[in-house]
Amino acid sequence: MKSTDLKFSLVESYLGLLNSLSPERKLELISRLSDSIKGSKKPSNKSIEELYGAFVSNQSADEIIADIKRSRRFDRKIKDLE
C-alpha cells in the first residue's frame, strides 16, 4: 500500500468517527486543531547552551556512576516450566 493511500485511508477513518459528533463539537475540534497548527510553528528561543549543565550534583561523575551500579538489583527469579 502506498503512503498516499494509507494517508487517505486514515483521513477516511477519522471522518467516519467524526460524523457522529454534534456541530458544536466539530467546531470545537476544528478550533483546537487550528490552535495546535498555529502553536507548532513557534520558533524556540532557548539555546542549546541553556540545557548544558541542567543536572546539578555535589557528587563527581565517578561517584554517581558508582551509586547507580550499587543500586542495581539482579534478583530475577526464573520459574521452572512444569
Boundaries of every domain in the chain? 1-40
**The predicted structure's pLDDT at residue 6:** 67
**The predicted structure's pLDDT at residue 77:** 79
pTM beyond 0.95: the answer is no
* Cα–Cα distance for residue pair 8/16, rounded to 1 Å: 12
**The predicted structure's pLDDT at residue 66:** 94
Question: Which residue's C-alpha cell is 494517508?
Answer: 7
* Cα–Cα distance for residue pair 46/1, rounded to 1 Å: 41
Q: Which of 38, 42, 39, 18 is nearest to 29 (CA)?
A: 18
Phi/psi for 3 (5° steps) reads -65, -35
**The predicted structure's pLDDT at residue 40:** 63
Positions in the chain short of pLDDT 50: none
